[in-house]
Amino acid sequence: MRIGMLTSGGDCQALNATMRGVAKSLYKMYDDVEIIGFEDGYKGLIHADYQVMKPSDFSGILTKGGTILGTSRTPFKTIRVPDESGLDKVESMKHTYRKLKLECLVVLGGNGSQKTANLLREEGLNIVSLPKTIDNDLWGTDVTFGFQSAINVAASAIDCIHTTAASHGRVFIVEVMGHKVGWLTLYAGLAGGADIILLPEVPYDLNVICNALKERNRQGKRFSILAVAEGAISKEDAKLSKKELKEKKKNQVAYPSVAYELGNRITELTGQEVRVTVPGHTQRGGEPCPYDRVLATRLGAAAAQLIYDKEYGYMVAVKNDNITKVPLEEVAGKLKYVDPGCSMIQEAKRLGISFGDE
Ligand code: F6P
């Protein structure tokens, strides 16, 4: 029996640990299983670039960051658009799958990759998928692997900023990844003791931020730290349509990212010196934390069980600390946002942390 496997989209910690979980379980369940590893995500499936994996390939990778298969982004919105050479990507993927006589394709991916996985399911392929992303924005699962490891990196960036911020008495902005959602910023901000946390789900008012900074000065605090999500947005901009926002940005100074723009505005309005730190892709790098290794192992074993039971068309997921499965059609195309009214935000506000909204 042959099983295909691929990692797709931005990498994260615990991709290897998850593949190890799937592979070790499959090798234990079957005497005759062969795992085909597609290189660089869906690209490998499209162009039939693959390696026949050996059991030893999955040994010693529990703590290894990145992905031994390589990954790439194959945007879902152009999946039906033929590539430069006129190649039909969907037909090519189906062709590779059939040519290799795969029983099932295992996909480790985030939001866009789950959409493609669902499309392949609709096209008749047997699919089992696993929830990968530091953003934790996948609908249908409480948590994704990679998220906790990224919190550790982002929180330790904030920790490091604390000592230098205290010495100089400045305002520091740490910009945290997370794409359109604020999970990573919320957790890293709380873990790192940020004074102000800005999330895409809670649009900010610049005056509220500046007042919070002034109030800290009045209280004799020498410094302030803002944990700002890369997708953070002002109340004003949140009211605009995508098109209107694009038009507005076109006529403004182009900043490298949201933190730089915010930093400049804060200096203009308060006269305070601001420094910006962007940990960027370090948040996806390094080894998975123990929590993610455990999660990866459990999810991997659960995915293998689905294959064994021939239960296809599901993403393995976590619900209330239990490993479960969610139909791919329910997962595809939906994002899991932070609820602005959630208890975590209310608790943080009780401590005096500002979310820039009130
Ligand atoms: O989805 C994971 C993520 O790291 C996001 O947090 C971030 O917005 C994006 O990927 C960065 O993508 P890339 O690595 O393609 O620049």
pLDDT at 288: 98
Helix or strand (DSSP H, E) at 50: strand 50-52
Q: Hey, which bits of 200-307 come out as E strands?
A: 224-229, 274-277
CATH topology of domain 149-284: Rossmann fold (3.40.50)
The 10s digit of each residue's pLDDT in 155-207 is 999 999 999 998 988 999 999 999 999 999 999 999 999 999 999 999 999 99
User: What is the arithmetic mean of pLDDT over 260-286?
Assistant: 97
Q: How confident is the prediction for the chain on average, in pLDDT?
A: 97
Question: 135 in ligand 1 pocket by Cβ < 6 Å?
Answer: yes
How far does Cα 273 stand from its chain's mean position? 32
First to last CA, the chain: 59
Asked whether residue 84 carries a pLDDT value surpassing 90, the answer given is no
Question: 110 in ligand 1 pocket by Cβ < 6 Å?
Answer: yes
What is the Å distance from ligand 1's center to 209 Cα? Answer: 27
Write down the architecture of domain 2-146+288-331 according to CATH: 3-Layer(aba) Sandwich (3.40)
Share of the chain above pLDDT 90, in %: 97
What is the Å distance from ligand 1's center to 169 Cα? Answer: 32
pLDDT band at 253; cut points 50, 70, 90:
confident
What is the Å distance from ligand 1's center to 170 Cα? Answer: 29
Domains of the chain: which residue ranges? Answer: 2-146+288-331, 149-284
Task: Tell me whether domains 2-146+288-331 and 149-284 share a fold.
Answer: yes
Nearest CA to ligand 1 atom 6: 178
Instruction: From the CA of 137, give the closest atom in ligand 1.
Output: 1
pLDDT band at 251; cut points 50, 70, 90:
confident
Nearest CA to ligand 1 atom 2: 10
- Told to judge if 135 belongs to the known catalytic residues of this protein, a careful annotator would answer yes
